[in-house]
Amino acid sequence: MESLKEKTAKGLFWGGMNNGVQQLLGLAFGIILGRLLDPSDYGMTAMLAVFSVIANELQSSGFKTGLINLREPKHEDYNAVFWFNIVAGVVLYVALWFAAPLIADYYHEQKLIPLSRYVFLGFVFSSFGMAQSAYLTKQMQIKQIAKCGMTATLSSSLVSVAMAAMGFGYWALATQYLMYIAVNTVLLWYFSPWRPSLSRNEEGGTRKENCSEADQTTPNRRLLHEDAIAYSGGENTLQGNLLPPSSFLLPRIFSPLKKIFSFSFRIMLSAIFTQLNNNVMNLLLGHYYGKTNTGHYNQGYQWSSKCFLLVGNMLRQVDQTVLVGLRDERERQLAVLRKMMRFTAFISFPMLFCLAMVSHEFIVLAIGEKWAFAASLLPLLCLSGAFMPLSTLLTDSVISQHRSDIYLWSTVALGVLQIAMMVGLWHQGIVVMVWAYTLLNIIWVFVWHFFVRRLMGYGLLSFLKDIVPFALAAAGVMLVAWWMGEFIVYSLWFIDDYLKLWILLFSRFVIAMLLYYGIMRIAGAVILKECLKFFRSNHL
């Protein structure tokens, strides 16, 4: 029997492996696509992103998070979420199909009508896999989730590159999004033993390998018959098959949602505002500045998000499950949270600060001079991104205490402030808007901490002790590495400018990583020792 520490470590490892491989694949294929496509192509899909993610949150309604936060969810709970997601997904797709002309009018771009109707298929596909994903996450089967994500990323990226090379433009990006969801959903079904049913019967909820088809269906038929009698008041048969009318069946299927509805509804609203917060720049830039400028911003945001999502998603696959399991052991729960916070700061700050340091060289060398404006925005987005995983861990801590109300209202407040600031500053230019976006998101980390302190006793001084040493070390290292890179290139004055960019990129990166590792070793950072010990062990 594995201990909680071992399960958490393996979850973090496979979560990191999953996101790490996906981000590396995204890096490689992103470079290829960035060279094949124009900023306007990225702008077209970026302008639709906010509608897709909001519709996706409306469809799931927070029930996946609700399932994860149940101590022991039953088959009927997963089953209710599964069928709800499908119904909601189809209804939302139909609604957005008819809303496509309105979206195109907002952005003054009629080509968005067919594109949006194509892209919005994504959340219909995803509706079939949310319950399966929740099941695997609850069982901490992160390795299986990792295999799904990595395979889906590789296959969808290969298809998108082929389409871009053939001249399909923004349709290649849209197809990449859809194919990722479709492949990931199919693989979630393959790895998850849970299966939906047309009843609340727990017996029929998982695959049974050693029984006949008749044995597997009999309990469901019996329960369906009982459901029919309960709702119709007598026997209800149709040519010998005991199947109730759907009007009788559906209320029974959805009834388990009642116990998590209040919690999940607030999670849904919070997630909607979170997605608005993340996509407000695409939404406003597309309206005020057009698809090309939106594409530049989106390109910069995508590169920074590859780093902070690597850390944030790795945490998200284990943190709520672990913290919920320790809800009755307050001191141990706080100790685990602090260790996760130190791990997050240990990884996030050097990763994002390093990308900010080499942003110009990286963008120009990777995807070309045509993306120079995106390169100028990237350092600011990296500064904001360095704090995003801290916010992820803090918000998940709030949710683990079953305080989705706090999560909701704090997220709403952030969204309202952010939208108001962006609308008020749009005439000042994109750079000013990005500065405001960055500063507000950094400040809000401490708003989240305020609530975690009240709920879990995580004091401000302890919080600062956990993150500030890593932030200062990373910032100092990047300054030294930047200066040393300049010195090296200045010494090699006789080489051409293109080669100088390559030397700057690699010299700064290597110097920064070596210096950061050396400082952590000299300082005796416990989190570094634990990471090295884990990778040297034979557990995996």
Reduced 3-state DSSP string for 322-358 = HHHHCCCCHHHHHHHHHHHHHHHHHHHHHHHHHHHHC
**Pairwise CA distance, residues 104 & 109, whole Å:** 5
Termini Cα distance of the chain:
15
* Listed residue (275, 274, 279) closest to 301, CA to CA: 279
pLDDT tens for 193-209 read 888 887 655 444 555 44
Map residue 284 onto helix, strand or coil: helix
Cβ-contact 346, 528 below 8 angstroms: yes
Cβ-contact 60, 134 below 8 angstroms: no
> Within the chain, which residues score under 50 in pLDDT?
202-204, 208-249, 538-540
The residue written with tokens 């002309």 in the block is 101
Cβ-contact 334, 457 below 8 angstroms: yes
Distances (CA, A) of 90 to 13, 78, 175, 191, 196: 36, 19, 19, 25, 18
pLDDT tens for 252-263 read 777 777 777 777
CB burial of residue 213 (10 Å; 0-12, 13-18, 19+): exposed
Query: Who contacts 149 (Cβ-Cβ below 8 Å, separation ≥6)?
Result: 18, 19, 21, 22, 184
Give the DSSP letter string of 62-129. Answer: THHHHHHHSSS--HHHHHHHHHHHHHHHHHHHHHHHHHHHHHHHHHT-TTHHHHHHHHTTHHHHHTTT
**The residue type at 287:** H
Give the chain's largest Cα–Cα span.
Answer: 93
pLDDT value, residue 161 = 93
